[in-house]
Copies of this chain bind each other. A is one copy, B any other.
Amino acid sequence: MIEPSYSISEYLKNNFGDTEKLPFDTVVKKYPKNFCLISPGEVEERINFLISGVVETKIVKTDGTERITEFFFPNQFFCSLSSLLTQNPTNIYMTCLTDCTIESISYKDFNKALEKSLIVNKLGRKIAEQSYLLRIKREKDMLTKTASERYVELMKNRPEVIQEISLSKIAKYLGIDPHSLSRIRANAFK
A side interface size, CB within 8 A = 21
Residues 100-132 of chain A, each 1 if its beta carbon lies under 8 Å from chain B, else 0: 000000000000001010100110110011011
Alpha-carbon gap, A92 to B144, bound state (A): 15
A residues 123-154 in Cβ contact with B at 8 Å: 124-125, 128-129, 131-133, 135-136, 139, 144
Give the contact stretch, choosing among A5-13, A79-87, A168-176, A178-186. A79-87
Q: Which residues from B are CB-within-8-Å of A81? A: 132
Instruction: Tell me how many chains of this kind the complex includes.
Output: 2
**Complex Cα–Cα for A86 and B62 (A):** 35
- What is the CA–CA distance of A63 and B117 in the complex, to the nearest angstrom? 48
Task: Identify which of B85, B114, B125 contacts A124 (C-beta below 8 A).
Answer: B125
Complex: A125 Cα to B98 Cα, angstroms: 32
| A123 CB to nearest B CB, Å | 9
CA distance A132 to B86 in the complex (A): 12
Given A121-B121, A121-B122, A86:B133 Cβ within 8 A: yes
Residues in B with CB closer than 8 Å to A133 are 82, 85-86
Once the chains are docked, how many angstroms separate the CA of A114 from the CA of B125?
10
Using CB atoms, name the residue of chain B closest to A134: B132
Q: Which listed residue (B82, B116, B132, B144) contacts A128, Cβ 8 A?
A: B132
Q: Within the complex, which residue of B82, B125, B136 is in contact with A125, where a contact is CB–CB below 8 Å? A: B125
Select A118's contact among B118, B128, B139, beta carbons within 8 Å. B118
CA distance A72 to B110 in the complex (A): 30
Contact sample, A vs B, 12 pairs, CB 8 Å cutoff: A62-B144, A85-B129, A85-B133, A114-B122, A114-B125, A121-B125, A124-B125, A124-B129, A125-B125, A128-B131, A132-B132, A135-B136
